[in-house]
Amino acid sequence: MTEYDYWKIFPRMPKKVTIGDITVRDGFQHEEKFISTRAKKFYLDELIFAGCRNIEVTNLGNPYLMPQFEDAEELLTHLRSDRFKNRCAKKGVDYNDITLTCITIREGAVDRAIRLKEQGIGPDRILMMVSTEEAHHFANSGATLPEYWKEAERCIKKCTDAGIKMCGTVSTIWGSPIGGATDLKDAIEFTKRWLEIGAHDIEHADHDGSASAPEVYRYFSMILDEMPDTSLHIAHFHETKRVASASVLATLQAGITNFEATLGGLGGQPANFLDDSPVPGTGEYYYEDPRYVGLTCLEDMLVQIDEMGIEHGCDVDRILWLGRQMERTIGRRLRSEAAINGRTLKEGHPKFARPGLKKMKQKLGEAADQKLPEGWGAKAMLPEQYRP
């Protein structure tokens, strides 16, 4: 007998998940126009009020390389202000439940995060990143893997003393845009290395959209077999082939409970052009057409999870509204289909009905709920050749 209970087929699949938003950092870093500080503050505030409690605020690296983040300290000051805390209280948001994360790829940025923490505006959590494929890692960081691991270990010790959590990211798990195919076992080993040197949690990243659903399921199943504490693991997918929703489903089936996404599917490699000027970024783009790069779309992921009956803690309608506002902020059509078409409504859309159905049924002598001709059997008789 076929089993139809989804949670029995996939017993690890969670009934509750956490979705972190990384729009203002990862989403905006790929934009070739400066997103105003006022807009950044608006989206940070509204995403928190809509239920997102894990928020990436900014990148604390050198703003000469990525000038999109030259307002980093102003954003942190805003989120640490009494005014914002009071707004949270009025909206029933427990400020202590919010985790503010900043990206700190190199030690100089980590030191900056610690200084900001001492000033009372620093992040709760920062992130460093390794790629299992060294050419990709070098393109991102300018360091070899061995020297970077030593730097990361040093930085985690500093952060522990400062009261800041460190997230260790593992990238190029399912492939590298530079080096091609990679081995899942390397990513599992790197995950263990992060935990060995003191990382608080791990972001498992498909940074170029290489992942396929079977390999995603395989990888996260392997991860949870060896490190079963789901609070340690965060799934991070990029979208380049319109298959990321399948990866999200496979991740759920494997048992992962923490995800990241951006409004409109924004994001990708840091921009190397801003407003009217070339900027360093991280060098040349990996793709011939940078328009087709971005992350998993928050609106679509949220609707997908919501309609599966999985608890998530977000205001779906508010997130969809924010997605529509984001298209106005960016000035173009973004990736979200849910932001445009909304959720699947159980009550349907009666306004689209063709008039006259009720009168037609009355004219034909049909009952209001009649769906089959009178005289037909109560159950269909399946021809023998089609039976199991």
pLDDT per residue as tens, the chain (388 positions): 678 899 999 999 999 999 999 999 999 999 999 999 999 999 999 999 999 999 999 999 999 999 999 999 999 999 999 999 999 999 999 999 999 999 999 999 999 999 999 999 999 999 999 999 999 999 989 999 999 999 999 999 999 999 999 999 999 999 998 999 999 999 999 999 999 999 999 999 998 888 999 999 999 999 999 999 999 999 999 998 889 999 999 999 999 999 999 999 999 889 999 999 999 998 888 877 767 789 999 999 999 999 999 999 999 999 999 999 999 999 999 999 999 998 888 888 888 899 999 999 999 999 999 999 999 999 999 999 999 9
Q: Are residues 24 and 162 in the same domain?
A: yes
Q: Which amino acid is at 179?
A: G
Would you say residue 265 lies in a domain?
A: yes
Q: Are residues 379 and 267 in the same domain?
A: no
**Inter-axis angle of helices 72-79 and 37-49, to 10 degrees?**
40
Name the burial class of residue 132, with classes exposed (0-12), middle (13-18) and buried (19+) by CB atoms within 10 angstroms of its CB.
buried
Which candidate, 5, 78, 2, 13, places its Cα nearest to that of 40?
A: 78
Q: Are residues 323 and 370 in the same domain?
A: no
Cβ count within 10 A of residue 174: 25
Structure tokens at 127: 């992130």
Would you say residue 346 lies in a domain?
A: no
Would you say residue 230 lies in a domain?
A: yes
Alpha carbon distances (Å) from 352 to 207, 288, 348, 349, 355: 41, 42, 9, 6, 9
pLDDT at 92: 97
Q: What angle do CA 78, 81, 85 make, to 5 degrees?
A: 110
Which candidate, 249, 286, 252, 248, places its Cα nearest to that of 268?
A: 286
Which candidate, 191, 190, 128, places its Cα nearest to that of 165?
A: 128
Q: What is the CATH number of the domain that holds 255?
A: 3.20.20.70
Going by the DSSP 8-state scheme, the letter that residue 232 receives in this structure is G
Where in the sequence is the domain holding 374, given as residue range(s)? Answer: 358-386
Say if CB 86 and CB 105 are below 8 A apart.
Answer: no
Name the burial class of residue 351, with classes exposed (0-12), middle (13-18) and buried (19+) by CB atoms within 10 angstroms of its CB.
exposed
pLDDT at 240: 86
Would you say residue 351 lies in a domain?
A: no
Q: Are residues 260 and 192 in the same domain?
A: yes
Q: Are residues 229 and 292 in the same domain?
A: yes
Q: How far apart are CA 175 and CA 70, in angstroms?
A: 32
Name the burial class of residue 181, with classes exposed (0-12), middle (13-18) and buried (19+) by CB atoms within 10 angstroms of its CB.
exposed
Q: Are residues 290 and 366 in the same domain?
A: no
Q: Are residues 257 and 304 in the same domain?
A: yes
Say if CB 37 and CB 68 are below 8 A apart.
Answer: no
- Residue 234 phi/psi, 5-degree rounding, is -125, 130
Q: How many domains are contained in the chain?
A: 2
pLDDT at 99: 98
pLDDT at 349: 84
Q: Are residues 247 and 369 in the same domain?
A: no
**Inter-axis angle of helices 82-90 and 37-49, to 10 degrees?**
30
Q: With left for phi above 0 and alpha for psi between -120 and 50, is residue 272 left, alpha or beta?
A: alpha
Which pTM does this prediction carry?
0.94
Would you say residue 347 lies in a domain?
A: no
Would you say residue 285 lies in a domain?
A: yes
Q: Are residues 382 and 264 in the same domain?
A: no
Would you say residue 143 lies in a domain?
A: yes
Say if CB 47 and CB 341 are below 8 A apart.
Answer: no
Name the burial class of residue 367, with classes exposed (0-12), middle (13-18) and buried (19+) by CB atoms within 10 angstroms of its CB.
exposed
Q: How far apart are CA 22 and CA 258, in angstroms?
A: 13
Alpha carbon distances (Å) from 247 to 18, 28, 132, 168, 174: 16, 23, 20, 21, 11
Q: Are residues 373 and 279 in the same domain?
A: no
Contact residues for 375 (Cβ-Cβ < 8 A; gap 6+): none
Q: How far apart are CA 79 and CA 75, in angstroms?
A: 6
Would you say residue 350 lies in a domain?
A: no
Q: Are residues 363 and 215 in the same domain?
A: no
Q: Are residues 220 and 366 in the same domain?
A: no
pLDDT at 372: 95
